[in-house]
Structure formats: C-alpha cells, structure tokens
A = this chain, B = another copy of it.
Amino acid sequence: MTAAGRLRTFLDGPEAEIRDAVRAWIEEPGNGAVTDLPREEHRAQVLAWARELAEGGRTAIGYPVEYVGEGAVGRSIAAFETLAYGDLSLLVKCGVQFGLFGGAVLHLGTRRHHAAHLAAIARMELVGCFAMTETGHGSNVQAIGTTATYDAAGETFDVHTPDAAARKDYIGNAARDGGMAAVFAQLVVGGEPRGVHALLVPLRDARGDVLPGVTIGDCGAKLGLDGVDNGQIAFDHVRVPRTALLDRYAQVAPDGTYTSPIENPAKRFFTMLGTLIQGRVSICGASITASKAALEVAVAYALERRQFGPPGGPEALLLDYRTHQRRLLPALAATYGLHFAQERLVAQLHAVFTTGAGDRERRELETLAAGLKAIASWHATETIQACREACGGHGYLRSTRFAALKADTDVFTTFEGDNTVLLQLAAKNLLTGYRDQFGELDPLGVAAFVAGQVLGTIAERTAVRKVLPAGALLDRDIQLGLLRWRQEHILAGAARRLKRGIDAGRAPFDVLIECQDHVVAAARAWVDLVVLEAFADGVRRCPDPELRPVLDRLCSLHALARIEAERAFYQEHGRLSATQSKAVIKAVNALCAEVREDAALLVAGFGVPRCTAPSPARLEAAA
C-alpha cells in the first residue's frame, strides 16, 4: 500500500468500513456537493438524497438494534463526519432528522415513542424538527417562552406561543418537509411551572398541509445551507395528547400528577439537554472534515501553481514561499491535532452512551464536547478562509468548493451552542472540577459555585516549575509541559479572581463579566492541551515506521505554532525568555519548511472523495 493509503487507514481507525461506504456514496455521479442551484431545487435534491440514504438502511446506526439501528454511536459519528465531504446541506438535514429529532425521541422519549416513531424516522417516513431555539432565546434555553399547559379534563397539553419572541426560529425541516416537531416548552401542570420539557407536536397532515393552529414561516435565503428548509413555527393553543410528552425524565399522569426520577428541576433540565450532546460532537467532527476538504484543495493548488521566482529558471511553486507555508501548514497541523482529539471525544461519547456512566464521566464528556466543538468550528472558519485566499481568484470560483464550505460551515460556530457560551460552559466544569451537578448554560453559576470552593487543588497543581531549558523546543514533554502550565495557571488565576470578587461581596454577575475573558481563555488553553495530548498519543500509536516521523514533525509544528501564538503569555509569566520566544518563531519556520515536503502525503491521507455535482437528469428527478 502507498504511504498515503497507509496514512488513511491509520486515520480512519476502526470505523474505516463505514467511512469508505460514505466516501463511495459521495463519489457516485451526482452525489457531490451542490455548487449552484436555486434554493427550492437544492432543497428538493437534499430531501431526495436523504431519502436515498434512508433507503440504504444506515441512517439509524446509533439507534438501538430493536429499532432498525446498530447500537453503534461511534460508527454513526464516523458516518456523519465523512458525509461532511459531500453537500453540507445534506449533512445538516441528516443531522436534524436522524440526530436531533430522532435523538430527542430516543433519549427523551420512552418505549412507546420509540416503537411508534424510531423506525419511521430512520426511514424518512416521518420527517421531523427539533424545535428548541426561539426568536428571543437561543443560548439561554431555560428562558424560552413556548408553553405546554396540561389539561387534565381532556388529558391533553395545550401548546402555545405567547408572543413573537417565543416563536420557534431557524428550525430545520420546518419550512417544507417536517410532519412533526419535538417542541421544547415550559411545562405547566396543575398551574405549576415545571420547567422546559419536550413534546411531539404534529405540524402537517399526510398531504403536507400545515395543521390548524400551527403557523409556519420560511427563513428564506440564508448565508449558506440553502438546501435545508429552516423556518419559524408558532402555535396557537395546539392540543396534543398527554402521551405526546417525551417522558423519560418526567411523567404527567392522566390526573395531572407530575413525577420525575430527578428531584432537582435544574438537574433534570441539564440531564435532558445532556442526552442531546451527540449533535455537538457531530458538528465538531464535521468542522474537522470541512477543514480537511479545504486544505486538500489549497495544498494541491500550492503544489501546482507557480508565480515569480529566481531569474532564468521556472517560477517557484506557491508552497515554496514561506508566507504560503505559514498560511497553510500550521492549519494542516492543527487539523491533524483536532482529528485525534475528535477520536478521543467520540470514544468518550460511545462509552457514556453504551456502557453507562456516572455524573463525572458525563460532565467530562460535556466539557470536552463543548470546548472542542468551539475550537474546531472556529478552526474551520479560519482554515477555509486561509485556503480560499491561498488559491487567489481561482479560489473565488464556486467550482473550487470554497464558496459552499465557507458559507455552509459558517453557522457551525453558532448552532449546537454559541462558541463563546460553550467555552464558558467548559470553563465552569473545569473550575468546579466537574463537581457542579447542574447549571449547564448559566454563566452565573460559574461565579457563584467557585466562590464556595476551596482552591487548594488547582493552586497546588500550578506550583512553579523551572524555566524552559535552551534548545529543547522539539521535546514533546516540554511542549506538553508548556501547554499544561498555561492551562493550569490561567484556570487557577480565573478561579482566584472570581473568588476574590465574590468574597468582597460584589454581585456575582458583575464579577463574572469582569473575569469573562479570563474564564474563556481558561477553556481555550485547556482545549489546546487536550488537542496536543491527543496528537502526541496519535503519534505514539502510529504503527508505521515511515509515517511516525512525519506525524511527529507535524505534531511539533502544531505544538510550537500554539506556543508561538501564546508567546506573549509565556513571557509575561517568565516561562519563556525573550531569546527563547524568538527561538520559537524560528523553530516554526524551520518546521514549516520540513512539513512542506510531507504536505502532499498529509492531505492525501485524509481520503477526500472526488465529488461530482448533481447531473441535470438527477435534478429533474428530484424536483
């Protein structure tokens, strides 16, 4: 096997079979990403593709075996990640249908809901929405306005949109295809508010007509993902039966008795949300795939395109210029790091959802998913942009795919949790050592909780260490040590500042605002460490003596590019002298020149499928 083939096998890991199956599907004529299609045709094409995948029988890989699934969460993520090489509207449509809507039924519902719906969802016979976000509330889900009021006499819930801000918004599958929605609403039973719960509410009849009491709007043209029919949904006292409540974590008896196995309402809410984490992990993976796709195009171009050069000879390849290496190669290295970190995240997800897990394991998973999704989606945004620019005017043509990659992934920084909010969530878990049991998205909790903690543990771990020995920048342990020191120091500092503010009697919210950039930095630094640890582990695990040094160089480039980016911090804290700091810059330049020789191999290892856009014949069939 070629080196590229062996690298691909190593990167694909245990789920190579499903990855190759998805690649093969994308490479079939007409299954590639849409480059230029009117919105309604794009939507029709995406629906047709989703149905085709459903007929193929592998859209429920993560569902239990008794409901047409394979009970294989890790495999389902691998399939989803790989699908991101194709049309990203299809990816998101699948995510909404099989992941979010199906996931809500699976994780928040009980046997009754599973039996009634899961197989139909997997087969696209029931197309559904995940109706959580409202016009007025996205990040702060606990404050949504939609109500579901129980009427014991009729044994029904009255689902209602009290005002414009409570309208469900940006909901995939709403504008065109959705027959039902998992609606998140404030449950009111016997006049008592019980917090946010989810119910299944029909939206359209069998002919596709919108049902009475339901008003649906179309979000219309978006920045990207125009093949997904996002819309708004409002409810005017829509009645659904008592059994519509997805009642795994809370039950309402016919007489209106409310019961739940989780006593604390906040804990109940965050437990429910926690089961939906797969969406976040999936988008993290898709962000990494999109970065790979962009890098493959830009590196290929840089190894073919020549411009300027020494007199007499041929012009120089773009990738021989240092500025070009600087644009692409640290991004390539970071993409590899994120790949290995994602492997770790998926393994954790799989373990939590298949072998069962305690609160701490769930909280660790939540932290990694939040932090990694934020960093990976920002990385995708930056990398795709850098790759587009590195291809000049050529990169501005829609045929190079940058247009779709850029536009479609743009919202990855927002959906499944705004990145800044997610980093605060991750920081909170780190600050509380995973001991905080509830309060997922409430930034106030960070300040309040830390104030009650003894900070000994954190402070102890950040005991002062020796200054970096000279000439040791390529030592993996020293690289890891620098990232670890930064992570621990920032975390401890943030904790101390929060505690000091609260102890001084100041309002927790004001204290939090004042430390907010520090708190977010703590989460970023932690993700940096986790990514480098995962990368280093990937290098160690690589069984191929020819590939290992390639990955090892790449890992050093990633580590030193991160250290270079934070070298102001390291100098501020006496971890790098001025001379050492300058040496880091030189080392990154030198590593760029070395990794340049591996660049073709490194992008070939991704196994990016050759796409062909939908043919006119297929488009007519889909219309």
Interface residues of A (CB under 8 A from B): 35-36, 38-39, 133, 137-140, 143, 169-170, 219-224, 307-311, 315-316, 320-324, 326, 381, 385, 388-389, 392-393, 395-399, 402-403, 406-407, 410-411, 413-415, 418-420, 441-444, 507-509, 513-514, 516-517, 520, 567-568, 571-574, 578, 581-582, 589
A520 proximity list for chain B (CB < 8 A):
323
Interface of A is mostly: helix
Asked whether, in the complex, the Cβ of A398 is within 8 Å of the Cβ of B221, the reply is yes
Question: CA of A348 to CA of B320 in the docked complex: distance in angstroms?
Answer: 36
A420 proximity list for chain B (CB < 8 A):
323-324
Asked whether, in the complex, the Cβ of B572 is within 8 Å of the Cβ of A223, the reply is no
A399 proximity list for chain B (CB < 8 A):
220-221
Asked whether, in the complex, the Cβ of A396 is within 8 Å of the Cβ of B418, the reply is no
A571 nearest in chain B by CB position: B571
A140-B308, A516-B321 known; A414+B385 contact, CB < 8 A: no
When the two chains form the complex, which single residue of B411, B419, B571 contacts A581, counting CB atoms closer than 8 Å?
B571
Q: Give, as a whole number of angstroms, the nearest-CB distance from A228 to chain B.
A: 11
When the two chains form the complex, which single residue of B35, B223, B393 contacts A169, counting CB atoms closer than 8 Å?
B393
Asked whether, in the complex, the Cβ of A418 is within 8 Å of the Cβ of B444, the reply is no
Asked whether, in the complex, the Cβ of B381 is within 8 Å of the Cβ of A393, the reply is no
The CB with the most chain B CB atoms within 10 A, among A39, A406, A415, is that of A406
When the two chains form the complex, which single residue of B311, B388, B443 contacts A308, counting CB atoms closer than 8 Å?
B443
Asked whether, in the complex, the Cβ of A568 is within 8 Å of the Cβ of B589, the reply is no
- 14 contacts across the A-B interface (CB closer than 8 A): A140-B307, A220-B399, A221-B397, A223-B388, A223-B397, A223-B406, A308-B441, A308-B442, A316-B509, A393-B411, A393-B414, A393-B415, A567-B568, A567-B572
Question: CA of A117 to CA of B392 in the docked complex: distance in angstroms?
Answer: 32
Q: Give, as a whole number of angstroms, the nearest-CB distance from A164 to chain B.
A: 13
The CB with the most chain B CB atoms within 10 A, among A138, A323, A385, is that of A323
Q: Give, as a whole number of angstroms, the nearest-CB distance from A196 to chain B.
A: 15
Q: Give, as a whole number of angstroms, the nearest-CB distance from A368 to chain B.
A: 21
Additional A-B contact list (4), CB under 8 Å, known A139-B307, A222-B403, A396-B414:
A389-B419, A571-B571, A572-B582, A574-B578
A389 proximity list for chain B (CB < 8 A):
413-414, 418-419
A513 proximity list for chain B (CB < 8 A):
320-322
Asked whether, in the complex, the Cβ of B133 is within 8 Å of the Cβ of A310, the reply is no
Q: Give, as a whole number of angstroms, the nearest-CB distance from A597 to chain B.
A: 15
Question: CA of A315 to CA of B138 in the docked complex: distance in angstroms?
Answer: 13
Asked whether, in the complex, the Cβ of A403 is within 8 Å of the Cβ of B413, the reply is no
When the two chains form the complex, which single residue of B143, B221, B320, B410 contacts A35, counting CB atoms closer than 8 Å?
B221
Question: CA of A138 to CA of B389 in the docked complex: distance in angstroms?
Answer: 13
Question: CA of A612 to CA of B601 in the docked complex: distance in angstroms?
Answer: 50
A403 proximity list for chain B (CB < 8 A):
221-224, 407
Asked whether, in the complex, the Cβ of A507 is within 8 Å of the Cβ of B310, the reply is yes
When the two chains form the complex, which single residue of B397, B443, B582 contacts A222, counting CB atoms closer than 8 Å?
B397
A566 nearest in chain B by CB position: B568
Asked whether, in the complex, the Cβ of B315 is within 8 Å of the Cβ of A143, the reply is yes
Question: CA of A222 to CA of B309 in the docked complex: distance in angstroms?
Answer: 30
